[in-house]
Structure 1
Amino acid sequence: MLLDNIHGPEDLKGLSDNELRELAGEIRNFIIQKTSELGGHLASNLGVVELTIGLFLALDLPKDKIVWDVGHQAYTHKILSGRKDNFDGLRQYGGMSGFPKRNESPYDCFGTGHSSTSISAGLGIAQARDVLHENYTVVSVIGDGALTGGMAYEGLNNAARMKKNFIIVLNDNNMSISRNVGGMSRYLNGIRSDRGYNQLKSNVGGFLLSIPGVGKPIVDKIQKTKNSIKQLIIPGMLFEDMGITYLGPIDGHNIRAVQKAIEDAKKLDHTVLVHVITKKGKGYAPAEKFPWKYHGVSPFDIRTGQTKHPKTSPTYTDIFSGKMLELGAKDPKLVALTAAMADGTGLWEFAKKYPERFFDVGIAEAHAVTSAAGMASAGLHPVFAVYSSFLQRGFDQLVHDVCLQKLHVVFAIDRAGLVGSDGETHQGIFDYSYLTCIPNMTVMAPKNAHELEDMLEFALQYTLPISLRYPRGTAYQELSEFREPIRLGRAEMLYEGSDVAFIAAGSMVSTADHIRKKCMSKGYDFTLVNARFIKPIDTEILDRLSEHHRVIVTLEENVLQGGYGIQVTEYIHQYHPEVKVINIALPDMYVEHGDVTKLREGLGIDSDSIIRKLQAEGVISCEKGTT
């Protein structure tokens, strides 16, 4: 295999065109094989194999820099930069990240995991190059889906002012995670389909090249010179009008065409946008047909494309999806918003049933938050379904546009807590902290599937900003016998014992119940409280617990700083200083990728680790409490 002899960019330089095409096929098969075993991002990586090879041929890496937007299409980049043998640990605990990471390789010049950042980051690197009088090429690769994000436009606006070379590669596959929406998508569709322009380029070039002796120099001159034909034929010419030279569209699966376009772009003394057309999922029929389904995959059977471990129980996302359909039938003012995640957040069924009340804003979380605020101000009941780590991107809008104006927007925060293999950029471990610091925001966390339904219904009847956060994966079904009505700021007593009280938030209620059951066999009778509300906290139940318990243990799947436990600790220390408070939370750090069970064990928030901590604190005696 050619791939076995590729250990860095220099190994590509001497390959023939046929060998490069063969190599691309081997890389594609390698990616399919590894993702079928381990899971990962499949369709996006299959779409950029030739594009990546072309970049590696045209650039002097790692001296030159490639910034990959989002980063979930960097598998070929990792393979070609000497990390092929690390793929057995892809996205595994202690193994290689699925995204570029600066501490992983000198070829990863900038860490990425969220969308629409590459132009800004690449521009900053290019500006640093110029200030330091260094000489290298900077390329930012951004997808057409990522161009729906406002930060990309901010970067383009400033990139147009560059007086030295900076290259933007627009990888246009007509997809983000879900299908692209909006004006930019329509604009790029126009460029892709403008046969008149492309035929003119081809016909003029072919005619001139046929003139002996003089044809080729004329063609070369035309390619290097700006001309007005392009502006006359392509509607709008957005990039050219901004002052950014536009090259393309180019077949992103033609390695030599990509290589030549980048080499041409390197010769210009300002910002150049190279527009390449690729097919997401290329080379694997199921991913080509359903690219959104094969964006992020769990282990699957290559022959059938079916997952090896299909889910058998509903997830929290499924529960949310079903409840939204039910509530949509009752409330004609209920509207749903997503930021290019209709499938991932469970809103696809709502979109099909109520298309006029569904809004996909593209990868634009900040816009989604303010748009929801506008809807609320005009009398609608908006629900914005979003992953915890992506809602961070709309923090300013949460503060000023929603909460300052006390507008009734419901935030359904999916993938809260540890999410696993996507790592630092996707762990939803900060939302308690950044939401509870905002005045007028109410924060809830359900203990199980039934409570998620009840909280969503409560949230829609509320009149102020409110959020409910729930984890990724199978919805917890136990403790269903406890279903007190949701009351603002009130916790739920599940089991009332003595001496030690556990007060747990959201996903940690099940962990606390496991601890209680394990310790019951050793003679302990602990109290268990379901916090329900992270803000406002239930101070009445804290007063009640303080009367009969010497220790209160808080449990949450959020970082300690700014989380639920800190609020409880402050209140108890102020009003009940004789009571000891122990906080079980995640450390104030970024959590790497890996299986969630292993992460919980490593971070000390699984039941056995917590029991050991309580033993060390003297809450449980080693003799009685050993498990």
Structure 2
Amino acid sequence: FLDWGKGVLEKTPVVGHPIYETLHGVKKGIKDIVAPQGMFEDLGLKYFGPVDGHNIEAIEKALKIAKDYDAPVLVHVITEKGRGHAPALNDEAEKFHAVGVVDPETGSPLTKGSKSWTSVFSDELVKIGSERKDVVAITAAMMGPTGLDKFQKAYPDRTFDVGIAEQHATTAAAGMAYAGLHPVFAVYSTFLNRAFDQLLLDVALHKAGVTFVLDRAGVTGDDGPSHNGIWDLALTGIIPTLHVAAPRDGQQLRETLREAVDISDAPSLIRFPKGAINSDIPAFERRDGIDVLYRGESADILLVSVGAFASIAVESAAQAYREGVGVTVIDPRWVKPLPKSLVTMAQRYKSVVVLEDGIKHGGIASTISELFRDAQLNVAVHSIGIPLTFLEHAKRSEILEDLGITVQNITRSLVTWSSSEIRLDIKAEMQHPLDENEIRKPLH
């Protein structure tokens, strides 16, 4: 009506334009009370709504109207998370944010899963909290998924949920550390990307004693391309003062978590993957912080295993032994900074192979190569990891097989690299190119 009246009123001398402006202001005021359209229209977006998100007919009508606008349109749809499902509605904090297969009536898991990385972290943090009153927990709207719900239940006054704001969580953690607390910020690996600036300048620059716990590190698979935590090792590798640990099993997760919260004059970070945790892998010995997991009969290959890939590394070494190749498997535990003794250990071997659950660009293999180069150690370093590409949606096992990160393919590469004549120019046979740009057609 107002659009039709505008044409008439604008043609009316003297009073027409003021009347239109008054009516338009009244209309806008009423709409602003009913719906928050003002902000969107100030940004040049046509606002339509709010629409009942549980009314299919209303949604279809709104979308059809939106299609007719020759401009950006924002359709405001309101839904109730968990609507109609009592277990979700009763879960006031999470509303079934992340669940597996559950009983539709009770919401309880249908199968008891194996012990997960998240649950091991969760239990150990509660124990640490009982011993250290200065330890506090921070989450960015992921209390349950990151395992902080148990800590919150035990210590509600020492648990902080800042909402979906990883940048704010990181800066808040820095402030708490300056005040004498030791914050533990639990976050999915991929979401820490958002807070890189705060991690670099608010935390690391000032050597704040903050511990970051990165869940879902490495290939996650089922959660989709955006949730793979394959960038954290490369990103955090360039941050001065930051200590980074990649535990291989539950025992090492407990151990490195305690070591991390004991660091008060620098930030620390622990990363682990999604899912069930493997059986503990004992070490034969520990040299300068480096665990020796498997001893080869001969000094052919030194296999540096990063994090949860340790079980694959040990099995590959055992397979290589049957092929007549001696492979020693080590786990540095703390991958930043790397122990200088790694140089001494590597001197005996023909080649060094690094197996890491992260992108190869700027990863641990790159760091080791620089370490050897600075020490003037002429030993070939080969990398088995994730190429610089976005991974497709699939199960973790399927993605790793597609990338050639399997016991069979790794063993084949170890046998190939065991030749003293094979040096730096060899790539793993089943490994994808380092960068997806390498497989593109050249530009003309």
- What is the TM-score of this pair, normalised by structure 1? 0.57
Q: Structure 1's 484 and 344: CA in aligned 2 closer, same or farther, altered over 3 A?
A: farther
Per the TM alignment, residue 350 of structure 1 is displaced from its structure 2 partner at its CA by 0.5
**1:93-144 per-position Cα deviation (integer Å, ceiling 9, x unaligned):** xxxxxxxxxxxxxxxxxxxxxxxxxxxxxxxxxxxxxxxxxxxxxxxxxxxx
For 2:410, the equivalent position in structure 1 comes to 610
For 1:598, the equivalent position in structure 2 comes to 398
Give secondary structure in 2 for the equivalent of 1:528: strand
Q: Structure 1's 544 and 289: CA in aligned 2 closer, same or farther, altered over 3 A?
A: same
User: Contact 2:245–2:271 (CA<8 Å) still a contact in 1?
Assistant: yes
User: Does structure 1 residue 405 correspond to structure 2 residue 206?
Assistant: yes
For 2:336, the equivalent position in structure 1 comes to 535
User: Does structure 1 residue 254 correspond to structure 2 residue 33?
Assistant: no
Aligned length: 392
For 2:38, the equivalent position in structure 1 comes to 240
1:299 & 1:224 partners in 2: Cα distance? Answer: 52
**1:35-83 per-position Cα deviation (integer Å, ceiling 9, x unaligned):** xxxxxxxxxxxxxxxxxxxxxxxxxxxxxxxxxxxxxxxxxxxxxxxxx
For 1:383, the equivalent position in structure 2 comes to 184
The match for 1:344 among 142, 145, 152 is 145
Give secondary structure in 2 for the equivalent of 1:383: strand
User: Contact 2:283–2:291 (CA<8 Å) still a contact in 1?
Assistant: no
The match for 2:362 among 562, 584, 597 is 562
Give secondary structure in 2 for the equivalent of 1:592: coil
Q: Structure 1's 483 and 309: CA in aligned 2 closer, same or farther, altered over 3 A?
A: farther
The match for 1:464 among 255, 266, 273 is 266
Amino acid at match of 2:187: V
The match for 1:449 among 247, 250, 269 is 250
Q: Structure 1's 480 and 255: CA in aligned 2 closer, same or farther, altered over 3 A?
A: same
**1:522-549 per-position Cα deviation (integer Å, ceiling 9, x unaligned):** 4444212111122111221222321x21
Instruction: Note the residue ranges of structure 1 that are not aligned, 5 or more in a row.
Output: 1-221, 621-627
Per the TM alignment, residue 357 of structure 1 is displaced from its structure 2 partner at its CA by 0.8
For 1:129, the equivalent position in structure 2 comes to none
1:507 & 1:316 partners in 2: Cα distance? Answer: 10
**1:509-528 per-position Cα deviation (integer Å, ceiling 9, x unaligned):** 22111112223344444212
Per the TM alignment, residue 371 of structure 1 is displaced from its structure 2 partner at its CA by 1.1
2:251 & 2:359 partners in 1: Cα distance? Answer: 26
- Stretch of structure 1 that moved more, 588-597 or 264-273: 264-273
**1:533-567 per-position Cα deviation (integer Å, ceiling 9, x unaligned):** 22111221222321x21121111111100000111
Amino acid at match of 1:571: L
With a CA cutoff of 8 Å and minimum separation of 6, indicate the structure with the bigger relative contact order: 1
**1:242-295 per-position Cα deviation (integer Å, ceiling 9, x unaligned):** 755876544222234334555666788988765433222345555555484644
User: Does structure 1 residue 571 correspond to structure 2 residue 371?
Assistant: yes
Superposition RMSD in Å: 3.1
2:178 & 2:189 partners in 1: Cα distance? Answer: 24
Which residues in structure 2 correspond to 1:351-362 (within 5 Å)? 351-362=152-163
For 2:277, the equivalent position in structure 1 comes to 475
The match for 1:492 among 280, 288, 291 is 291
1:227 & 1:543 partners in 2: Cα distance? Answer: 74
Amino acid at match of 2:279: Q
Give secondary structure in 2 for the equivalent of 1:507: helix
Per the TM alignment, residue 240 of structure 1 is displaced from its structure 2 partner at its CA by 3.0
Q: Structure 1's 371 and 254: CA in aligned 2 closer, same or farther, altered over 3 A?
A: same
For 2:435, the equivalent position in structure 1 comes to none
Q: Structure 1's 259 and 520: CA in aligned 2 closer, same or farther, altered over 3 A?
A: closer
User: Contact 1:455–1:468 (CA<8 Å) still a contact in 2?
Assistant: yes
2:124 & 2:257 partners in 1: Cα distance? Answer: 8
2:181 & 2:70 partners in 1: Cα distance? Answer: 50
The match for 1:514 among 309, 315, 330 is 315
Q: Structure 1's 226 and 256: CA in aligned 2 closer, same or farther, altered over 3 A?
A: farther
Per the TM alignment, residue 388 of structure 1 is displaced from its structure 2 partner at its CA by 0.5
Amino acid at match of 1:442: H
2:106 & 2:181 partners in 1: Cα distance? Answer: 44
User: Does structure 1 residue 396 correspond to structure 2 residue 396?
Assistant: no
Amino acid at match of 2:414: L
1:355 & 1:302 partners in 2: Cα distance? Answer: 30
Amino acid at match of 1:580: A
For 2:384, the equivalent position in structure 1 comes to 584
User: Contact 1:436–1:534 (CA<8 Å) still a contact in 2?
Assistant: no
User: Contact 1:446–1:507 (CA<8 Å) still a contact in 2?
Assistant: yes
Q: Structure 1's 226 and 259: CA in aligned 2 closer, same or farther, altered over 3 A?
A: farther
1:483 & 1:362 partners in 2: Cα distance? Answer: 44
User: Does structure 1 residue 310 correspond to structure 2 residue 109?
Assistant: no
User: Contact 2:283–2:293 (CA<8 Å) still a contact in 1?
Assistant: no
1:374 & 1:478 partners in 2: Cα distance? Answer: 36
Give secondary structure in 2 for the equivalent of 1:228: helix
Amino acid at match of 1:605: I
Amino acid at match of 2:359: V
2:41 & 2:408 partners in 1: Cα distance? Answer: 60
2:285 & 2:87 partners in 1: Cα distance? Answer: 43
- What is the TM-score of this pair, normalised by structure 2? 0.79
Q: Structure 1's 592 and 273: CA in aligned 2 closer, same or farther, altered over 3 A?
A: closer
